[in-house]
Amino acid sequence: MIHSMNIGDQREYTRIITEKDVLQFAEVTKDFNPAHFDEEYTKNTIFKKPIVHGMLVGSLFSKIFGLDYPGEGTIYISQNLKFLKPVYPNTSLIVRTTVKEIILERNRVIFTTEIFDRDQNCLLTGEAVLMPKKEPQHG
């Protein structure tokens, strides 16, 4: 699988995180911070209205890595994230991954991971290290 990958390869999809998604994420993580739910509370924050959990936004790369590219059998080794701007519920997001480095001898691929709004403002950036599924040995 790694031999068919190239530096610069990109995958992306569009996603809208709804208020229902935020609530479901809070139910799973038990993070009911008022920054995500309380209109009155958030009026006095720098965000002015409820925001999406950062880790919910950061988890959106998993769809690409697990299903699309590299795809089934991929192991997610690590991910770092830098939150540049808040994400509000019902915002159209562009989730993008780009191959940055390929380490053949270790079967590792380093990706740049980014999330943009529809105006191409970068909301989140980071890097992921993945271990693609091993290719069958011939001979």
Contact residues for 36 (Cβ-Cβ < 8 A; gap 6+): 22, 26, 50, 51, 52, 53
pLDDT, tens digit, 9 for 90 and up, residues 9-68? 999 999 999 999 999 999 999 999 999 999 999 999 999 999 999 999 999 999 999 999
Helices (H) and strands (E) in the chain, counts: 4, 5
Enumerate the β-bridge partners of residue 99. 111
> Is 117 part of a structural domain of the chain?
yes
Structure tokens at 58: 């950061």
> Is 139 part of a structural domain of the chain?
no
Rounded Cα distance, 79 and 36, in Å: 23
> Is 136 part of a structural domain of the chain?
no
Which residues constitute the domain of residue 40? 2-131
> CATH no. for residue 123?
3.10.129.10
pTM for the structure as a whole: 0.92
The model's confidence at residue 112, banded by pLDDT at 50, 70 and 90, is: very high
> Is 138 part of a structural domain of the chain?
no
